[in-house]
Amino acid sequence: MPAGRCELLPWIDAARCTGCGWCVAACPFHLLSLELKDWRKTSVISDLDACTGCRKCEPKCPFNVISMVHRAPPTAE
């Protein structure tokens, strides 16, 4: 794991996401997008490694669907 990388990532509860898109607009790196899953639009993050953990997406969700979680520890080789 590169030194200094933020250890937080957004976790989106797909079952509760309404697909409103507020979080998509909030990410300065355009990492979030709406995808069709089970006939519903939900927000997904495209590149976990590019996420800086800046938390800009988390407070933008009107439904508190986004939680910041710790990255999984690196697996031993």
SS3 for 17-34 is CCCCCHHHHHCCCCCEEE
Smallest separation (angstroms) from ligand SF4 to the CB of 49: 11
The residues pairing with 66 across neighbouring beta strands, listed in sequence order, are 12
Distances (CA, A) of 22 to 60, 62, 67: 6, 8, 15
Least distance to ligand SF4, CB of residue 57, Å: 3
Q: Which of 1, 2, 7, 21 binds ligand SF4 (CB under 6 A)?
A: 21
Q: How many Å separate Cα 50 from the centre of its chain? A: 11
The contact mask relative to ligand SF4 for 36-75 (x = CB under 6 A, - = no) is -------x-x-----xxxxxxx--xx-x-xx---------
Contact residues for ligand SF4 (CB under 6 A)? 10, 12, 17-23, 26-27, 29, 31-32, 43, 45, 51-57, 60-61, 63, 65-66
